[in-house]
Amino acid sequence: MNALARRIAQRIRTEGPLSLAAYMAMALYDPRCGYYATRDPLGESGDYVTAPELSQIFGELIGLWCADLWQRSGGPSPLVLAELGPGRGLLASDLLRAAACVPEFRRAIRLYLIEASPRLRAEQKTRLAFAEPVWVEQVDALPPGPMLLVANEFLDALPVRQFVRGKALWSERLVGIDPEDRLVFVDGPESFAASLLVPEASRESAEEGAVVEICPAALALASVLGARLEAEMGAALFVDYGAVAAQGRASLRAYRGHRRVHPLVAPGAVDLTADVDFGAVLEAARREGALCYGPVSQARFLGALGIELRLAALSRAATEAMRERLEKSVRLLLDPNEMGNLFKAVAITSPGMPAPEGFAGSRVQP
């Protein structure tokens, strides 16, 4: 056991088995030993690579998406521009560079960042110093007023819970310790309390042994955003991976050095992630009165925003080697066998706002 595993084991001895959400919260966000507190997880030397790491075009197109929606919504100023999980600050940097093409939009922006990693926050301070960003701990702490919020690969890192269908009722999948003090998955007792937490669509139809996964933190975030956007002008854009209709299927997994490992091995040293249930997220926001769009594939979304035109423009002034890198990165973003179909985009907007670009025909109906 590493140091964090020993602390988790001691907590289990004191409190009993932990929910997966409690385990993930410690493994990812513990201030001393958690994954995001102790390392830079991004890039080839880390555990995963994100779209802004692959290509500047990704952030530039999102910047133009924001500028277009801002203009068609009346151009309010000042504007809260918030990013959840900004990583190294590349998306925000590319977004703001593109925003400069619309000077009035760029002048209206007040940049706010929500970042759990002290290491990444330090890098953001350096890269984004020109934009004078303000860091807040959660969405509730963002100032009032018109807002555009963006998040790339944020929802997939939020803690999940899993439930197992028993003979009569459901039980929660937990993290315990075996006789040799190793962290292991265990199932709690079947109960009405656990059963009520399972989405109704899965509760009665699932067969014995079926596992259902929910992400309370993602649903809570969607509800908060939905309520805010119902009351104040704005929109939120999420790009992440998952299924169009996940239906709560279990997907928790772990990666280290770009290779898949067991989720309970070396907590704090591996990336824990789960597919986003986009349908559940959008429904939580819609119930609060917001309008919802998507999910649409990343390939469709970026294609509608003009990724091929931007690639051509950059390629004209690039060396042959640079052109090859640009083309390779764009192919990864669009290829249906790579990120093109795996990643999806969804948007949440205030009632009365124009439909956001890239989501034609995808508004979620009541």
Residue pair 113/133 in contact (Cβ under 8 Å)? The answer is yes
244/294 Cα distance (integer angstroms): 9
Domains of the chain: 3-33+161-214 (no CATH), 49-157+217-248+274-349 (3.40.50.150)
Instruction: Say what the pLDDT of residue 243 is.
Output: 74
Written as six digits, the tokens of 93 are 């940097």
Using alpha carbons only, how large is the chain's radius of gyration in Å? Answer: 21
Residues 176-226 pLDDT 10s: 999 988 999 999 999 999 999 998 888 878 889 999 999 999 999 999 999
In this model, does residue 247 exceed pLDDT 60? no
289/60 Cα distance (integer angstroms): 30
Written as six digits, the tokens of 296 are 């649409």
Find all residues with CB under 8 Å of 226, minimum gap 6, and list them.
Answer: 284, 285, 286, 287, 288, 289, 290, 348
256/261 Cα distance (integer angstroms): 7
Q: How many CB atoms lie within 10 A of CB 314?
A: 18
Instruction: Say what the pLDDT of residue 48 is.
Output: 62
Burial 30-57 (b: 16+ CB within 10 A, else e): beebbbbbbbbbbeeebbbebbbbbbbb
